[in-house]
Amino acid sequence: MKKTKAILLLLSIGLIFRLAVFFLGYPNPTFTADTQGYLELAQLIQEFSLNNYIGHRTLGYPLLIALAFGNIYVVIAYQFIIGLITSLLWFLTLIKLNFRVSHSFYTSLFLSTLLNVFIFETTILVECITLFFMSLLVYIVAPEGLNTNRFKLNLWLSLVCGALTLIKPFYAFLPFLFFGLYFLNHLKLNLKLLNKSVILIGAIVVYFGWSYVNKVNTGHFVSTTFYGLNTAQNCVRFAEHVPEEFSWIGEPYAHYREKSKVEGRDLAMTIWYAYEENAFNSKNLSFPDLSAELGRYAKVAIASNPKAYVNQVLFYSFKDFWSSSIYWEDSKFTSTTSEYILKRIWYVQRQFIKLFRLLFLLLTPFVVYSFFKKRRITDSIVFYSIIYAAAILQALVTYGNNARFSFPFEFLMLFSVLYVLKEHNSLSYVKSKFKRLQVK
């Protein structure tokens, strides 16, 4: 298969798949609890005013909504286009990693036609655009991009990391991870290291710039005023074990935890249930002030209960990162038939996702061993570092929807598995065995 033909086929099939599923199976946008915050900021952007903005969200995704003038179906059209470009980036990345055109095509097509990818493209959430920029980042980094110290490449990395930070401040860790990996490969404090530090600029400017905007509007220098509340989510299992100073938070938090258990609610969202039912109104605080207090509470609770916190991070927050999720609603399918067909397809696809996630985890010791043996930062080390850093940091910071947070890294898990197997000729071995079986 020629490269040009593969690209045309990939984009054509991807477009037909999206239009077919949208018009025949699931023709409605999906909204979640987070959607409203993005729509509100998009409206302020359209009005060219951020005065008194409460600081819930960052500018990245609302800018896309604003470019669609707030029309949800135009946003979905944009996201379909972004999804197609993302699939092209996957294909080109695999080519750069020396996979055959046919292998690159089928792998990219498989990822592009996953139903959770489609659903996130029809959902008003950051995942679609995050996936695009994460894919662009991997395209720039591979192959051996981190070992290259050209100014143009460093500038591109800086811009993409800045864009990811603008979408979600959590991703500000990425350029620091890349800088650290580069330093491990070049253990000298010299001009080369200074040149590489350019990759830090985009994320730093965005993170601190937006934090300053929030400082002006809310009085709190934070990238998002959700930060304190999100951090407190990790304290759900030891909420009440805090000093008296924070009992006004710990006691109602523990009460709603037990209430959530009885009512069968999501334990990770307990702090939200308590907030929505005005459990912390005794102090009469604004949301930014309350979130700041919850952040202080979380620091004290974690420091007072280190073992419980480690248990929470390892066996709940970190573990949930490795699950897969899909955000569709039963009422939005065109018919019971389309619902049945799409859910059966997703069931099969989900097994493949579970398989390559499992393989990713199983290959981890092998990748670590190879690193210590070669003492060199290879592409597989970079890929594994990105995913594990995201999983660990996400688990440390918050608890809740961790499976959704792993979505932008699913493609990279598959790439990592295939690349590690390819590096050690495992794919060729499997292929030769398969051919022998066919001959017999």
The answer to whether 310 touches 102, Cβ cutoff 8 Å, is no
Nearest Cα to 405, choosing from 200, 211, 135, 125? Answer: 125
The answer to whether 214 touches 275, Cβ cutoff 8 Å, is no
Q: pLDDT in tens for each of the 440 residues of the chain?
A: 899 999 999 999 999 999 999 999 999 999 998 999 999 999 999 999 999 999 999 999 999 999 999 999 999 999 999 999 999 999 999 999 999 999 999 999 999 999 999 999 999 999 999 999 999 999 999 987 777 888 899 999 999 999 999 999 999 999 999 999 998 887 776 777 888 899 999 999 999 999 999 999 999 999 999 999 999 999 999 999 999 999 999 999 999 999 999 999 999 999 999 999 999 998 899 999 999 999 999 999 999 999 999 999 999 999 989 988 888 998 999 999 999 999 999 999 999 999 999 999 999 999 999 999 888 889 999 999 999 999 999 999 988 766 789 999 999 999 999 999 998 876 554 555 445 555 55
> What separation in angstroms does the CA of 17 have from each of 10, 114, 345, 364?
10, 10, 13, 34
- Give the integer Cα–Cα distance in Å for 225 and 229: 8
The answer to whether 79 touches 132, Cβ cutoff 8 Å, is no
User: Residue 352: how many CB atoms within 10 A of its CB?
Assistant: 12
pTM to 2 decimals? 0.93
The answer to whether 384 touches 364, Cβ cutoff 8 Å, is yes
Residue 404 has what pLDDT? 85
CA geometry: angle 330, 331, 334, nearest 5 deg? 95
- Give the integer Cα–Cα distance in Å for 37 and 207: 19
The DSSP secondary structure of 304-364, one letter per residue, reads H-HHHHHHHIIIIIHHHTTS------GGGSS-HHHHHHHHHHHHHHHHHHHHHHHHHHHTH
Residue 143 has what pLDDT? 85
* DSSP count for the chain of H helices, then E strands: 23, 0
Burial class for 322, CB neighbours closer than 10 Å (0-12, 13-18, 19+): middle
- Give the integer Cα–Cα distance in Å for 263 and 279: 17
